[in-house]
Structure 1
């Protein structure tokens, strides 16, 4: 689309689309829903999320009434009420014309929900698409493996199945990029789809069972009616045979009075289809007729051979005594189609006196059958040879089933066809399959949401644990660094001894417990070591002095520190001056015995100054100065020796 046209059509798309969908609703819900979903997918692909949601909501709302008509409990809203509501809105439309089949309705609703959920996997959009695909496949399966009977409610979508499948595929292509790279999606989608497949299988079983059971039930109703009517005619014929045999007690033909009295007992209001009971003379004249209606009186005296020549063989067989006979469907003398049964009559001498005729009017017989029926349930037609004898019921909106019944009337077979009306069948049809499938969809969606949420929470928990472990490692590293910094703040990095700051803090903490002695040491000619042997050797010598000094001071109950450069200092709490001097000499001697060499081969030696605080006012700087002065004297007097400062007292 050119850019100027796109800028113009974009804002007007919701208006034009809504008008088009609304207009299509008058043509049918199915095309309107398909068109609306197509517009929603196009808008979503163009980045118009709000427009896509608007079309989807319009389609979803339009499908809701039809969906509720499938699953609302019968006790709450009956099918009759749904039919009345449809008739009130569209008098000429049937319920099946204003709603798609169940599978198509559910598939369209699922496709409409996906844009409403913005195609988000965490809201179940992948399962909705999978459900739509399975519903399309189920409709195709119903077309490939149809019911053995014509379905009352076609589960397939007919000509709209191909567009529905196309919309499902296009929705998959539209949303696939959003759902890729999410392992938790398949772990939730597969079990939920399996549950949905199970629900579809159960629905298919119930759907076939309900359709077949309803088909058999309506057929059985017709069987009962036809059988009851046939039994009724047979009972009447049995009564007629007894009537004919009863005249064998007489020695003459029955008089009019006798005939009227005996026929009145046989003629009953339950046999309203009897036109008359007549006595036929051997010459085929009608002698007696009961009841004495105007039509019956008009036929008395007529010769049947002349009036009904097509039935002459049947009449002759009865008049000759060969047994019971009956005509086919003929036009009665009183008018209208009917059947006449003839029974031979004999007197007490076994002489043939004539025949008794029982005239049955087929329209009246049909009325007897139809009296037990309601016209809003089925269209009934009574077929004779090459013509329809009677009709009953409404011909509007017939159902897909035709039930045919053979009515045997003692040698005469008639066919009755029942075609149940669709509205009546819908009112009797169980909604259990639709409810089962809907519940299966809901359970599958809930299972997907639970599994997806659990997987997502599991991944978040793993990520949280990983972050927590990394954070703990960082905390430990910071703690180690902090400890290292704190250690470096109070120790010498090279020798590991306490530094000058730490040493002074420790000594100051002992000021209230005299005596307290300090030993200040210095490596003799250490500059030569660095200059001539190198700083690495100098560092090794410093470490050696640190080790020896720390060991000696520990033996005497004190501690050792690096004071700076090549100077070291020891503290001996509770040690008198003589003990401190002895400790200093021990340190000096052990270093000398270590045989650390200068560049010229001479041994490295150590000079020390000792000072002791005996009590009184504690002045640490003064003590340090006194120890330094004693060390300086040891240096001037030849090094490798220990000098004492004057004891500090009150």
Structure 2
């Protein structure tokens, strides 16, 4: 079961998700994904693993298209195509409603993958959780730090209650995972390099993201500046053409006729000056004498005196009629309707005397339509402003971007404010996918790094365990060999004296079955019971060890072997020795024991009695020989002890 704190935080996350759904009028995919992860975590805590994985899988599948739209190049799938696909399912969908911000998308996807992997460390769940935590921290910092100078086009974090809900879900997952992975040293060694790589990746993404948006901002601003410069150049070119038109009448001695005026004005108007409402000839008394084109709007102004019907242009008109200079009005309401500017140019005759003025009325909406005709309306919204009034507007007003570029346009002394607002869809199509791709690749590399390090650490631990097992096995084998050797040694040797026991002695004698002659010496310590009773068993054991050492040394000098037969009895075998030689060996043994100064309680030396038997011919009958030696030993004790007696049996001879 999960820790209580993890369950409490997870419940808080689920409650926040429910609150977001209830408070949000139109729940988007971000809200749905938060709710899906919260329910999946709750199911996992309730040990409903299949349900948890199903919810996590559905959430991951819902987030995948939006994630792909961040990293797929525009040349493969355009932003409009992604939006069209979303609107095919939901007609009112927008980019922000069908895909969460990039960092939130990655965080939710990592949480879903952790649940799909069932928190298994060897499948990389810990590094996915670290990644989700780092992405959450990046979103918290973005939400808390001051907003950048340039508004972000692509906001990569969520805020408000949604961010709190996401933080609760990540925290609950961290608390829950702590109890599962605590104490695994290989995790720390694998997570540190992978986490460091994730931090570097996030820092690189942040730099690339800001740099790409700043670059795009500068590019759109420069595009607008070039457009404004081109518009200004076009207008100045048109004004220069109008000056040449006005100066062309200096070749005449009289004012132009109606026919002459219409003929010349048609060439100017019908060429590049379609935005001119009219080109009129104004007499010195401000009466409009001729006008071109003579359409319904312009017929209404023929014969009108401008001093009377358009007082805003009186000052400019007076200077042109007086032949002083070219003038223009401010932005005024034209007689034909709509905002515009009227340029007045003096008209002279051949004597250079003013005979009237050429009035050219420029409709600013028509000018904007003419100049913006070659532009794509889906690129940006352009608007002309003067004194807080919108004079003209061009472009699509839907889904405008966060940027507004301001320019000043000079219309021969009249300044207009031009505002360019690039559309969001256009900007998103132009925005580089490199930051999102770099972030994705960096997270994948961190995951692979963790998997490699974790696998190697796991293999190292397994190899170490294998080596330790081998060492323990070798130690155990050696110990078993030692114990086996000890058991075998104990099975053949006397534990107290260290010499051969009765069993081993019989095996050694059996090995000499074909040796002739073969002599046996059966010895017994005289009055040994007194030693134990009067001096103690420790002294008795010491005497036994000493006599065993003497007997083994004596027998070894004559290529024989010596054994403890039982109690205070010893037996020796001398292969190849006849009775005389064997008796000499037995006497040597008796004398060395007696001379060792092993004392009884009364001070007398400990002595040895022995029975000697020698086999020379015929098959070896060991029980019979032993019985004969025992009888000879008995006679030695009967005859006073500390002596050697020969056995008298058939087949025994002196060699």
TM > 0.5 between the two? yes
Distance in 1, matches of 2:228 and 2:467, equals 79
1:513-565 C-alpha deviation (Å, 9 max, x unpaired): 33333222222222222233222222111111111111111111222111222
1:403-452 C-alpha deviation (Å, 9 max, x unpaired): 23322111112223222222222222222222222222222223333333
Residue 542 of structure 1 is aligned with which of 538, 541, 544?
544
Task: Work out whether residues 191 and 448 of structure 1, in 8 Å CA contact, stay in contact via their aligned partners in 2.
Answer: yes
Distance in 2, matches of 1:591 and 1:359, equals 152
1:154 corresponding residue in structure 2 = 155
1:247-303 C-alpha deviation (Å, 9 max, x unpaired): 445554445565556555545633332334444333333445455656556645543
Task: Work out whether residues 236 and 412 of structure 2, in 8 Å CA contact, stay in contact via their aligned partners in 1.
Answer: yes
Alignment of 1:232-631 (within 5 A): 232-255=234-257, 259=261, 263=265, 266-267=268-269, 269-290=271-292, 296=298, 299-631=301-633
Distance in 1, matches of 2:304 and 2:49, equals 91
What TM-score, normalized to structure 1?
0.89
Alignment of 1:15-414 (within 5 A): 27-143=27-143, 144-159=145-160, 160-255=162-257, 259=261, 263=265, 266-267=268-269, 269-290=271-292, 296=298, 299-414=301-416
Task: Work out whether residues 53 and 115 of structure 1, in 8 Å CA contact, stay in contact via their aligned partners in 2.
Answer: yes
**Structure 2 runs not aligned, ≥5 long:** 1-16
Distance 1:45 1:294, change over 3 A: closer
Task: Work out whether residues 517 and 571 of structure 1, in 8 Å CA contact, stay in contact via their aligned partners in 2.
Answer: yes
Distance in 2, matches of 1:515 and 1:186, equals 80
Distance 1:135 1:245, change over 3 A: same
Distance in 2, matches of 1:185 and 1:456, equals 10
| Greater CA drift, 493-502 or 204-213 | 204-213
1:4 corresponding residue in structure 2 = none
Task: Work out whether residues 21 and 27 of structure 2, in 8 Å CA contact, stay in contact via their aligned partners in 1.
Answer: no
Instruction: Report how far residue 49 of structure 1 moved.
Output: 3.5
Distance in 1, matches of 2:561 and 2:298, equals 150
Task: Work out whether residues 21 and 36 of structure 1, in 8 Å CA contact, stay in contact via their aligned partners in 2.
Answer: no
Distance in 1, matches of 2:302 and 2:238, equals 23
1:164-217 C-alpha deviation (Å, 9 max, x unpaired): 222222333333333333333333333322222222111111221222222222
Task: Work out whether residues 225 and 369 of structure 1, in 8 Å CA contact, stay in contact via their aligned partners in 2.
Answer: no
Task: Work out whether residues 199 and 441 of structure 1, in 8 Å CA contact, stay in contact via their aligned partners in 2.
Answer: yes
1:318-341 C-alpha deviation (Å, 9 max, x unpaired): 222322211122333444432222
1:140-160 C-alpha deviation (Å, 9 max, x unpaired): 222213221222222221221
1:14 corresponding residue in structure 2 = none
What TM-score, normalized to structure 2?
0.88
Distance in 2, matches of 1:36 and 1:201, equals 29
Instruction: Report how far residue 496 of structure 1 moved.
Output: 0.6
Q: What secondary structure does 1:27 align onto?
A: coil
Distance in 1, matches of 2:214 and 2:35, equals 35
1:10 corresponding residue in structure 2 = none
Distance in 2, matches of 1:343 and 1:585, equals 163
1:549-608 C-alpha deviation (Å, 9 max, x unpaired): 111111112221112222222222233333222211111111111121122222111122
Task: Work out whether residues 523 and 570 of structure 2, in 8 Å CA contact, stay in contact via their aligned partners in 1.
Answer: yes
1:115-140 C-alpha deviation (Å, 9 max, x unpaired): 33333444433333332232222112
Distance in 1, matches of 2:196 and 2:517, equals 89
Task: Work out whether residues 608 and 634 of structure 1, in 8 Å CA contact, stay in contact via their aligned partners in 2.
Answer: yes
